Amino acid sequence: MHVITIDHDLCNSCKRCYKACFNDVIVWEEEFPQVRYPQECATCNWCELSCPDGAVKVIPHNPVRIPEPYPRSFYPLSYVAG
């Protein structure tokens, strides 16, 4: 899962990261942004880029989980196991 961190000591509660997130990964609670749903993060980085104080960091965690295009069960000569 991707990792998004917010340093609340640097955060000025401007809400820019909260507004920039189009997948509702960042929610607004108790006057601060909180990372609640990293499962839906698209790693677009707009939260990080929008922050005027450098409080937000996005660290993509790869490989991402996607359906295997070439499983051996369907492709006997596939280089992919499984």
Partner 1 sequence: MAPKQGEAMASLDTNGEVHSADVLILGAGLAGYIVANRVKELNPELSVLLVEKSTAGWSGSKANKGAGVMWVMEEKDDVGKFREYYSAHHGHGLEDQELLEKVCGTTMEMVAHLERWGVNVAREADGSLARSGLLPLWALCAFDLDILMKLRKVALKYGVKAVDKTQVVDLLTQGNRVVGAVGFDITNGAFRTFKAKAVVNATGSCCWMVANMWSSARGDGIAAAWRAGARMRIAEFSNFYNLGLRGNQAAMVGSQYALYNADNEWIAKKYCPDFETDVDLGIILGMEKEVRDGKGPISFEETELFYKNPLAVGDFLFRWNRPQAKKFWLRLWEGEGKYTSDRSWRPEVIPMFIGECSPVMTDHEMRSSLEGMWALGDTSRSGAGWAGAVPPPSRIRGSGITWAAVSSLLAEKSLAEYAASASEPEIDADQVARLKEGIYAPMAREKGLDVRESTFRLQEVISPPRYSARKSAGRIQESLARVAEVAAECDQVTPGGDWHVLGLCHDLKNMAQCAEIYFTSALARTESRGWHYREDFPKRDDATWRKWVDVELKDGKVVVSATPLPVERFKTPAVVDPWFYETMYEAIK
* Residues near partner 1, by CB under 8 A: 18-24, 27-28, 36-37, 39-40, 42-46, 48-49, 58-70, 74-75, 77-80
Smaller CB distance to partner 1: residue 10 or 27? Answer: 27
Smaller CB distance to partner 1: residue 52 or 69? Answer: 69
Torsion of CA 28, 32, 38, 44, to 10 degrees: 90
Q: φ and ψ at 20, to 5 degrees?
A: -70, -25
For residue 66, what are its two tokens? 């996607």
Smaller CB distance to partner 1: residue 9 or 77? Answer: 77
Minimum distance, C-beta of residue 9 to partner 1, in the bound complex (Å):
23
Residue 20 buriedness (CB in 10 A; 0-12 / 13-18 / 19+): middle
Minimum distance, C-beta of residue 66 to partner 1, in the bound complex (Å):
6
